[in-house]
Structure 1
Amino acid sequence: MVLRKQQSQAMKGSTISLNQLPIGAIGELYIGGIGVARGYLNRPELTAERFLPNPFQTDEEKQQGKNARIYKTGDLVRWLRNGELEYLGRNDFQVKIRGLRIELGEIEAVLSSYQGVNRSVVLAKDHKKQNTGTPSTNYLVGYYVSDNDIDESDLKLFMQIKLPDYMIPNRLMRIDKIPVTINGKLDAKALPDIDFSADESNYCTPRNELEVKLCEIWSDILGIEKVGITDDFFRLGGDSIGSLRIVGRIEMDLDLHVSVKDVFECRTIESFCQNVFKKNCNEKIRKLCDIHCYEQEVSNGEVPLLPIQEWFFMKYSTGMSHWNQAFLIETPILDQDRLEDSLIKLIDYHDAFKLRFKRVGDVKYFQYYDDSVNFPGILPFNHLDVSSLGQSENSVILLRDILTKWQSQFDIEKGPLWAIGYLNGFAEGRAQVWFAMHHLIVDTVSWRIICDDLRRLYDGSSNLGKKGSSYGEWSRCVQSYGTRKSMTEDVYWRNLVRNVCCFNDNLSKHNGASASRLATNATSITLNTRQTCSLLRDCPHAYGSNINGLLLTAFGYALKELTGDRINYVTLEGHGREDIGDDNMDISRTVGWFTTMYPVLLEIDDDLMRSIMNIKALLMQVPNKGIGYGTIIGYKDQDLPRVSFNYRGQFEAASSTRSSNSGKDRRWYLTDGIVGDERAERAFGDDVIAVNGLCMKGQMRFNITSRLTSDRTTQLANSFKSKLEDIIRDRFSAKPPIEIDYSNDFEQPFVLLNADSDNILFILPPGDGGAESYFNNIVPHLSSYKLYIKLIQLNGPYNFLGWSFGGVLSFEIARQLNNAGDPVANILMIDAYFNMSKAYLEIGKMNSVDEVNQINYSYLPQIDNEAFALNIANMNIKIVLFKANLVKEGYLLNDQLELFKYYINTTSNCLDTLVNHKYIQLFQMYDDSHFSWVSNKEQIVKICNYVASILK
């Protein structure tokens, strides 16, 4: 609808602050002039709300007593260039919550779409803050009608998937019916009020004095009688102003300093105490409550197994006691008594040395701290003068046999689980401290901790300071992480592992892999010092990736040569010491086995740079570096790729150098050398290929063990090294693309519904609103969206549906997949406009491209028509266009109107300029425009039925 101003009326499009808006901007319509009434009969409050002093009254009008007030209509309008006002709707259904403008209708649409909800209405309400003297705060309430009881926790989860956090109603209430007035309009006053303090079912009482005081502060500021420690501040109607007042009250009442950021990040009192006050645990807070600050607990009793430990017991029913990690610490010649005394202190400090395991039933194990593991007198200690073995080649074999014997007597139930030896007799005044520990109690990060702590103790440190968090505390924290995982992370892992089983089968069947665990072949590759330095220092900057991404890219090429497939999977090992939501957890100096394993998809392109960017994107999309995979999926045979890759990092001496009293350098550092056989021969595991690498003494080395034939194992190793050398050689000519922001917002570009469905339909929305951002952030990175699509559905055929510019994007992503050899089944487009530059040229409006259509004007899928047409014909790609046949003039500016009419008069919205018309299937939407079909239930049913029919 378009309004024309009459001579006797003054119309203004304004913001809430009554500032006049420029042409084209949207604001609320205020009417002035002689046609404005004096007010509402007998309704002074409503009159005061709607009839306002006119800030635009001229001095002449003031002298004449005219046009003193303007009427607040509630209508949304905008000025057009020809002076007319375009009516856009009412603002009654738009509200502002915590500074964000919200369309209530969008929330109602989602609420009503939930199964079992018949009708719904969402309102913004104010808290009635009695006796507080503070302004009210807005909150959202969702009322719904349903025939049966609905689990509101499931309903809230459903809404959280489909709506941003600020649009989730603070409260939901089931009602018998939606009340209406005699005119058939919503009777909002007849809807029941919400009592925020009445929800006793979810109320959690404060547990200590600090929580009691915080509940009182929250209650006062929110104007709510009762607040529990798990109640969300913003769900209860809190806002940014309220958060400022929270900070002030805490400082005034408790003399404790917090920030507004703390309130926003820790929205419940429970979270606030856990993450803000524990982090700054001081004597005052300890007096207010019994807060456990994370100094390592006194270790005793049972400790929950980590997922990696559970995996070990599941995999290794035989040979499990000889599954060790052994390492060497290079030292100067040491005093043995002083070394032994230092080792006793080291073992007493690190509780991992006290861990034991006990079998319960046939297969289940648990771990516990054995208090009897102490050494008040003599430490079990091995010593060897290596010079006694002679200088012959046989001396190497003798040394290996001795060190193997020292570590082959471990018993995971009775002990011991570790052995220590001192080796001297080397040339140049060198010595070595040898450690062997069962892998159940140690990892490679722990090697560094043990090396540093032993040096400090030997050099005279009386103690190693306060302990961090214990292995038991971390185990319980990981268990808690598994119970509070996000739906996004759950779906990510389950979609990824769908195709791992097929990959494993193909790897074993088509690559000559032996079924026997004993039939293994091994080889290694080494990069020289110059190559290693270039790879570690120059290449990450040159290619815009990190060392892990570069290594996996090179290995991905080697796998592609082995399997013949561009897409392969590896099981990646991580150190596992990730941030999982508890800032007070400190395991930086805790010894134990923290390793994580998780599957990673590697997609390789013919172009090296694109492959590096692909791998980078895929790695950065991994939730929290894989920490949740073990608790969500578990380390099952069929869910983990049987190709494992583990790069342990750099082991150097720089951080462990001191000067002795004699002035000579005394170096303590991890070194390579003979350590004995760390595992029983029968304990190789189920991996078809296992790759383990590290950087030692300035050289990078990878050991590759496989059940492939000897030739194929060597071929894999050579391919891996060759591609690493290519990466090093081409580093100066590398031109990385503009950096993509792979933040958490990008992590989930698609909302997943019915994730277990066999037939997946990818739906892309139109680009309306924020057009510049849409064009700049989505279009250039479609290849990355393609990668995410392949995480959800690895192999085709693929199905796409898009409306408006979403249809153009659907077409482009389908084209990219098709060009890469991935089959596409259906490209469904609802009134998508193609070749818009041609359209603007033909209507003579090249200089009138509006902001919304700018994205479509600037972007056109680039295809080889003949090649794509050949693929469409040969591969049965169905291209469907649902074409609008009406133009709703009231919604469009003049230039837009001409553009929409142009496309109405084309055969297929200019899609035939890209694809031959004989491959396009048209469905005419005779009674609908580009926009109105969304409100036409009959049309929606037709589209849905057709889509369902072709997806069967």
Structure 2
Amino acid sequence: MVLRKQQSQAMKGSTISLNQLPIGAIGELYIGGIGVARGYLNRPELTAERFLPNPFQTDEEKQQGKNARIYKTGDLVRWLRNGELEYLGRNDFQVKIRGLRIELGEIEAVLSSYQGVNRSVVLAKDHKKQNTGTPSTNYLVGYYVSDNDIDESDLKLFMQIKLPDYMIPNRLMRIDKIPVTINGKLDAKALPDIDFSADESNYCTPRNELEVKLCEIWSDILGIEKVGITDDFFRLGGDSIGSLRIVGRIEMDLDLHVSVKDVFECRTIESFCQNVFKKNCNEKIRKLCDIHCYEQEVSNGEVPLLPIQEWFFMKYSTGMSHWNQAFLIETPILDQDRLEDSLIKLIDYHDAFKLRFKRVGDVKYFQYYDDSVNFPGILPFNHLDVSSLGQSENSVILLRDILTKWQSQFDIEKGPLWAIGYLNGFAEGRAQVWFAMHHLIVDTVSWRIICDDLRRLYDGSSNLGKKGSSYGEWSRCVQSYGTRKSMTEDVYWRNLVRNVCCFNDNLSKHNGASASRLATNATSITLNTRQTCSLLRDCPHAYGSNINGLLLTAFGYALKELTGDRINYVTLEGHGREDIGDDNMDISRTVGWFTTMYPVLLEIDDDLMRSIMNIKALLMQVPNKGIGYGTIIGYKDQDLPRVSFNYRGQFEAASSTRSSNSGKDRRWYLTDGIVGDERAERAFGDDVIAVNGLCMKGQMRFNITSRLTSDRTTQLANSFKSKLEDIIRDRFSAKPPIEIDYSNDFEQPFVLLNADSDNILFILPPGDGGAESYFNNIVPHLSSYKLVIFNNYYYNLKEKNMEKASHSKH
């Protein structure tokens, strides 16, 4: 809104101290002149508050008795260069919390948008601490009217999707109606006060000396008599100043070093202690607390299924017990007794080996930890001297049959779900440890964990250290992520998958796909060592894309040749161990099936470089690498693309560890070779095309299985390899185009300068407000650029436009 000054009025933009502000600065509007009233009828207090002595009254006006008072409007404005006043909002709806200026109306709008909330109001109130002499602090409280009770935690989770943390009210309270004055305005004084005392019904007492001392500190700082270990610091009235005082008190009273970030992220004493223990596991803390209460306990009981596990039980009603992952660890010749002892310790350490599955009803399953398993008694340990199979062509077939038999007896309900074998008799003093595990309890990241831990145990390590987060903890964390992100990610995913069914139909009908679930064809492609090295090391830098983007671009061209369409879809598999906002969650060394599956659109252009940029942009749009798809959309009602693509990464011998034993190198690393049939023939699934790749021994290999004809399967593989070779060949002549160049388009939010200077990107916000939120959303997607961030974009444009207009007049 733009205002013009009338002749009878004097308008000033001022600070709280009534100092007039310069052009462009934001201040509160005060009105003087003959149009100003004498005051409010029968409201002397409000009159005194709003009608103030005019510090800008001239001597002439004083002699005439005019313009003696100005009216405090509460409106925020700023002068423009053309003499107009730009209205920016209300001052009484803006408050400062934790040093940040907040618009209360934005919070009210989000709170009112929650389903079931009819109306809401948000206020900033003073919290006077009960047992301290410290000054009061501001806090946010939201009042809402609804037909039914709404859980406060659900409301906060919803608001956290829309707003930054500092705009989330400390407390939310349901009321019958919004009180108003006789004039129809909000009667803030009639709203109930918030009780910041701890929740007695859910009070949790401290469990050790450390927690006792922290509860005392919390109580002193917050001014609350009784604080439990599960009480939220900010819910009890805490703020940024209070967090600083807590950090200081902990350092002074306990001589422990923590940060303000710890207080903000670990809002309860229980969570705070866990964080402190993980960072500062020293003798001082051990004396203050029972450290075992912060370590992951041996997992037991029912564990929620991850979305990928739910997908498995929906898709595989037959052959489900033989759906495995098998892998080989290259080793020197090993002592078998010592190996068996190491395996028992390994299996006892990793809880995934104890997982079992139970059927409830016709199709539903749940998983649980079976603590009754006696590992030394049931260890499925096998041994084979491969030299006994001979050197004939049949020896390969015999080895595959033996390893297939070892892993064909799994039972997901009764166990076992894993088998282990020791293979020796190879040339050059080599041996192999063979693992087969049902896919429900393992993924390819787990292979590395098992390989490393088994080597450490065999080499004499007494233990593997403190366990990370359990599979069950992660499962619940993923469920929580889906709840928090459902509102924002649901729209993205549903827009993406709306054409997937049509894509699947065309893929099956027009490409010779077999209707039989058992009729499949398979082939593979391999890049030699030189090609692989160039693709992994040179090409990402040359094209400005990561390896996944390059692989998917090449595969997109192969699909385009197959389907005739430049837009196709694939189901992408990821490792699933993403950062989903819980710093206390550590699954870096947890064995289990964490895989995510989510749809991705591949759009191909005639120009290779532009196609690479298209794929890169499409992948960057995927929210948090697809981890929310299975929880938010799920795999039951929405079909995934019937083309799956999974690149498992590099499995290199270079990561092996050496130690000396009689002068010989002892090497432990994952290797390729014959592992037996990992799946029953009838367990291929619904995919028309399945592509699985990895890099091992310096070579990249992709296995392609499909329901296409043999010729079409081979054609798809050859097209894929040919385009990968094109990418490798053209790497030195490639020049990434400037993806974003809006320097001449003022309707867009970016300006890119110094385009030839190593991809520096200058970012400016789309308007006068919302810059912080805008930057937080966009910056994580621009990791390949050096960023320079500006503010006040449109304000600068207005100045430029006015300068142009001024020059044109002359």
Moved more, 568-577 or 490-499: 490-499
CA distance in 2, matches of 1:316, 1:944: 70
Deviations 1:790-845 (A, max 9, x none): xxxxxxxxxxxxxxxxxxxxxxxxxxxxxxxxxxxxxxxxxxxxxxxxxxxxxxxx
Deviations 1:245-292 (A, max 9, x none): 232234345544321222333345555455455554566667767675
Whole-Å separation in 2 of the counterparts to 1:303 and 1:747? 51
Q: How far did 1:531 drift?
A: 0.9
Q: Secondary structure at the match of 1:484?
A: helix
Which residue of structure 1 lines up, in the alignment, with residue 706 of structure 2? 706
Q: Which residue of 2 aligns with 1:940?
A: 801
Kept after mapping to 1: 8 A contact 2:217/2:249: yes
| Unmatched 5+ stretches in structure 1 | 787-878, 883-900, 906-936
Contact (CA 8 Å) 2:323, 2:679: kept in 1 or not? yes
1:278–1:291 CA contact under 8 A, matched in 2: no
* 2: CA distance, partners of 1:945 / 1:5: 23
Distance 2:343 2:53 in 1: 85
Once residues 105 and 645 of structure 1 are traced to their aligned partners in structure 2, the CA distance between those partners, rounded to angstroms, is: 46
Q: How many angstroms does 1:700 deviate by? A: 0.3
2:281 and 2:741 mapped to 1: Cα distance?
Answer: 35
Shift of 1:547: 1.2
Measured in 1, the distance between the counterparts of 2:463 and 2:745 equals: 45
Shift of residue 707, structure 1, vs aligned partner: 0.7
Contact persistence 1:348–1:374 (CA under 8 A):
no
* Distance (Å, rounded) in 2 between the aligned partners of 1:91 and 1:453: 61
Alpha-carbon shift at residue 535 of structure 1 (Å):
0.7
1-structure distance, mates of 2:452, 2:289 = 36
Picking from 887, 904, 907, the partner of 2:795 is: 904
Distance 1:602 1:749, change over 3 A: farther
Decide which moves more: 53-62 or 524-533: 53-62
Quote the offset at 1:537 in angstroms: 0.6
**Which of these two proteins has the greater Rg computed from alpha carbons?**
1
**Secondary structure of the corresponding residue to residue 695 of structure 1:** strand
Does the residue aligned with 1:377 lie in a helix, a strand or coil?
A: helix
Decide whether aligned partners of structure 1 residues 379 and 238 sit closer, same or farther in structure 2, where only a CA change above 3 A counts: closer
Does the Cα contact within 8 Å between 2:247 and 2:259 map onto a contact in 1? yes
- Aligned to 1:17, what secondary structure does the other structure show? coil
Distance 1:418 1:21, change over 3 A: same
Check the 8 A contact 2:179/2:187 in 1, yes or no. Answer: yes
Residue range with higher mean Cα deviation, 625-634 or 255-264: 625-634
**Structure-2 change in CA distance of 1:308 and 1:902 (3 Å):** closer
Change (3 A) 1:697 1:242: same
SS in 1 for 2:745: helix
- Higher RCO (CA < 8 A, seq sep 6+): 2
What is the Cα deviation at residue 564 of structure 1? 2.7
Give the whole-Å Cα distance in 2 for the aligned partners of 1:754 and 1:279. 43
Count how many residue pairs are aligned between Structure 1 and Structure 2.
Answer: 808
Q: Deviations over 1:735-760 (max 9, x none)?
A: 33568899999999999999999999
Which deviates further from its counterpart, 172-181 or 300-309? 172-181
Secondary structure, counterpart of 1:456 in structure 2: helix
Deviations, residues 704-749 of structure 1 (Å, cap 9, x unaligned): 0011111211121112112212221222233335688999999999
Q: Deviations over 1:392-417 (max 9, x none)?
A: 33333333333333333444445444
User: d(CA) in 2 for partners of 1:743 and 1:275?
Assistant: 46
Stretch moving more, 156-165 or 616-625: 156-165
Task: Tell me the secondary structure at the aligned position of residue 118 of structure 2.
Answer: strand
SS state of the match for residue 132, structure 1?
A: coil
Q: 1:32 to 1:238 in 2, by over 3 A?
A: farther
Contact kept? 1:278, 1:292, Cα under 8 Å = no
Q: Does the 8 Å contact 1:295/1:469 carry over to 2? A: no
2:455–2:668 Cα contact (<8 Å) kept: yes
* 8 Å CA contact 2:540, 2:547 repeated in 1: yes
Shift of 1:701: 0.4
Q: 1:53 to 1:353 in 2, by over 3 A?
A: same
Deviation at 1:558, TM superposition (A): 1.7
**SS of equivalent to 2:357:** strand
TM-score, length of structure 1 as denominator length:
0.67
With over 3 angstroms needed to count, the CA separation of the structure-2 counterparts of 1:628 and 1:759, relative to structure 1, is farther
Tell me the secondary structure at the aligned position of residue 593 of structure 2. coil
Q: Is the 8 A contact 1:521 1:713 kept in 2?
A: yes
- Whether the 8 Å CA contact 1:297–1:469 is kept in 2: the answer is no
Instruction: Provide the rounded CA distance (Å) in 2 between the counterparts of 1:653 and 1:409.
Output: 31
Per the alignment, in what secondary structure is the counterpart of residue 235 of structure 2? coil
Per-residue deviation at 1:538?
1.0
| Distance change >3 Å, CA 111–CA 595, structure 1 → 2 | closer
CA–CA distance in structure 2, aligned partners of residues 370 and 181 of structure 1: 64
Kept in 1: contact 2:277–2:294 (CA 8 A): no
Alignment partner of 1:538: what SS?
helix
What's the CA shift string for 1:848-903, capped at 9, x where partnerless?
A: xxxxxxxxxxxxxxxxxxxxxxxxxxxxxxx9999xxxxxxxxxxxxxxxxxx999
SS at match of 1:55: coil
Is 1:277 the equivalent of 2:277?
yes
Task: Choose 139-148 or 618-627, whichever is displaced more.
Answer: 139-148
Q: 1:121 to 1:683 in 2, by over 3 A?
A: closer
Question: Is the CA contact (8 Å cut-off) linking 2:198 and 2:227 kept in structure 1?
Answer: no
Distance of 1:441 and 1:756 partners within structure 2: 49
SS at match of 2:22: coil
* 2:751/2:762 contact within 8 Å kept: no
Output one character per residue of 1:97-154: Cα deviation in whole Å (capped at 9) or x when no partner.
Answer: 3333334455556667778877765543322445633222223445567799888777
TM-superposed deviation, 1:42: 13
Residue 147 to residue 564, structure 1, CA distance change in 2 (3 Å): same
Return closer, same or farther for 1:99/1:737 CA change in 2, 3 Å cut-off. farther
Q: Which moved more, 1:378-387 or 1:123-132?
A: 378-387
> What is the deviation of 1:515?
2.0
Residues 197, 572 of structure 1: alpha-carbon distance in 2 compared, 3 angstrom cutoff: same
1:425 to 1:618, Cα distance in 2 relative to 1, 3 A:
same
Counterparts in 2 of 1:680 and 1:227: CA distance versus 1, 3 Å = same
Deviates more, 1:611-620 or 1:101-110: 101-110
Tell me: CA distance 1:660–1:185, structure 2 relative to 1, closer, same or farther (3 Å).
Answer: closer
RMSD between aligned residues:
9.3
> What secondary structure does 1:513 align onto?
coil
Residue 363 (structure 1) aligns with: 363
Give the C-alpha shift of residue 522 in structure 1: 0.4
Which consecutive residues of structure 2, in runs of 5 or more, have no partner in the other structure? Answer: none
Q: Is the 8 A contact 1:557 1:720 kept in 2?
A: yes
- Show CA shifts across 1:284-339 (max 9, x none): 66776767566453355655544434433443333333333222222334444554
In the alignment, which residue of structure 2 is the partner of 1:620?
620
TM-superposed deviation, 1:431: 3.1
Structure 2 CA distance, aligned partners of 1:37 and 1:517?
Answer: 85
The answer as to whether partners of 2:742 and 2:748 remain within 8 angstroms in 1 is no
CA contact (8 A) 1:576 1:596 kept: yes
Q: Output the CA distance in 1 between the equivalents of 2:498 and 2:785.
A: 19
Q: Find the residue that maps to 2:343 and give its secondary structure.
A: helix
Kept in 2: contact 1:94–1:102 (CA 8 A): yes
- Contact kept? 2:170, 2:235, Cα under 8 Å: yes
> 1:529 Cα deviation (Å)?
1.0
For the residue of structure 2 that corresponds to 1:121, the secondary structure is strand
8 Å CA contact retained: 1:525, 1:721: yes
| Change over 3 Å in CA distance of 1:556–1:654 after alignment to 2 | same
Aligned to 2:675, the other structure's residue is in SS state coil
Contact 1:358 1:365 in 2 (8 A): yes
Q: How far off its partner does 1:542 sit?
A: 1.8
50-59 vs 252-261, which deviates more? 50-59
Structure 2 counterpart of 1:385: 385
Percentage identity across paired residues of the two chains: 98
Note if contact 1:329-1:434 (Cα within 8 Å) is conserved in structure 2: yes
State the distance in 1 between where 2:29 and 2:45 align.
20
Q: Distance in 1 between matches of 2:232 and 2:704?
A: 52
Q: Name the stretch that deviates more: 648-657 or 271-280.
A: 271-280
1:511-567, Cα deviation, whole Å (9 max, x unpaired): 221121210000111111111001111111222222122212221222222223333
Q: C-alpha separation between the residues in 2 aligned to 1:881 and 1:431?
A: 56
Q: Structure 1 residues 625, 208: closer, same or farther in 2, change over 3 A? A: farther
CA contact (8 A) 2:468 2:587 kept: yes
The structure-2 alpha-carbon separation of the partners of 1:285 and 1:943, relative to structure 1 and needing over 3 Å to count, comes to farther
Query: Alpha carbons of 1:288 and 1:332: their partners in 2 closer, same or farther (altered >3 Å)?
Result: closer
Please report how far the alpha carbon of residue 626 of structure 1 lies from its aligned counterpart in structure 2 after TM superposition. 3.2
Segment drifting more, 25-34 vs 609-618: 25-34
Contact 1:293 1:584 in 2 (8 A): no
* Cα separation, 2, equivalents of 1:380 and 1:427: 26
Measure how far apart 1:450 and its partner are.
2.9
Cα deviation, 1:363-408, whole Å, max 9, x if unaligned, reads 4545555567556599765444434444333333333333333333
